[in-house]
A and B are shown apart, each in its own frame.
Chain A
Amino acid sequence: MMSDQANNCRIMVETLQNVTCQILESETWNRVVCEPVKTLPIFQLTQEVCGVIYLLGSCPGVVAVMTSQRSLAAIIKSITGNETRELTQEDLLDGVAELANMVCGGMKSQSQISGITISTPMAIMGSEYVAQWKTAHPTQQLTFHMQDHSLIVIFSI
């Protein structure tokens, strides 16, 4: 018999996978391929730009959306419909924060787990840093590929 917490975690991972695929496909007009879910021992940011959101309320946890600057720039240009404009650091930070917001907001709506609220996003960017969170459970990693770009979503409760 699966505990409520384990069941919620499974639902959230499945929903994150579906929602992220939907967002990337609708915003970038590309086919998205999702790798099988990986379980990692720690929640650690491993990419150049990351958007982090805390889940609060009935199912506390943390979600990060992360990718390279190059891939993020391509995604933001698709979202804004402006392929030619040069993006500033502020644009990239704002873009990854909004992407995390869309992913978590969509997950919250579609998972139908009641009582979850989401924090405002925190954005992190840099070629060299170490950032990790202590969590009670292993981290689930979802990796998405589209053309020559990829995006990673990690989640832990």
Chain B
Amino acid sequence: MKLLTIDDSKTIRRVIAGIGGILGFDVLEAENGVAGLEILQDLGQEINLILLDWNMPGMNGLEVLKSIKANPRIKNIPVMMVTTEGEREYIIKAIQAGAVHYQTKPFSQEEMAARIMEALGVGG
């Protein structure tokens, strides 16, 4: 099982990699939207879940999400937004664009682990 975290913060990628590792995932990391889309272009068929930050320099998370959902090869990979943006309007926009779950920062290990399993349809 492979998980891709797209976040400009190395700190957050490290936290997610740790939680993903505990859950038995092979965690891939991208520091921005373009790098994330490149990984998806190469390895999209192998990735089971994408964790996507919203506020990133260059392409923001919503733009990345829309790109993913517009690409028939990768549009079925579940995407969870992981962001400090906790307002209702942001959550609605993300869900409308195709995100399956939404986690605000900061989060505990237990919270994130539960959200990952829920996003994959095996928890909750």
Of the stretches A6-14, A32-40, A91-99, the one at the interface is A91-99
Chain B residues touching A, majority SS: loop
CB distance from A57 to the nearest CB of B (A): 13
Residues of B within 8 A of A79 (CB): 11, 15, 106
CB distance from A126 to the nearest CB of B (A): 20
Within 8 A of A (CB), among B81-124: 83-87, 104-106, 108-109
Number of interface residues of A (CB under 8 A): 24
A82 at interface (Cβ–Cβ under 8 A)? yes
Within the complex, which residue of A82, A102, A105 is in contact with B18, where a contact is CB–CB below 8 Å?
A82
Q: How large is the interface on B (under 10, 10 to 19, 20 to 34, 35 or more residues)?
A: 20 to 34
Interface string of A19-54 (1 = CB under 8 A from B): 000010011000000000000000000000000000
Q: Name 18 interchain pairs, CB-CB below 8 A, sorted by A.
A: A23-B106, A26-B106, A80-B11, A80-B18, A82-B14, A82-B18, A90-B10, A94-B9, A94-B10, A98-B9, A98-B11, A101-B105, A105-B105, A106-B86, A109-B86, A109-B87, A110-B86, A120-B55
Q: Which 4 A-B pairs have the closest CB atoms?
A: A105-B84, A109-B86, A98-B9, A94-B10
Interface residues, chain A, with chain B CB atoms under 8 Å away: 23, 26-27, 76, 79-82, 90-91, 94-95, 97-98, 101-102, 104-106, 108-110, 118, 120
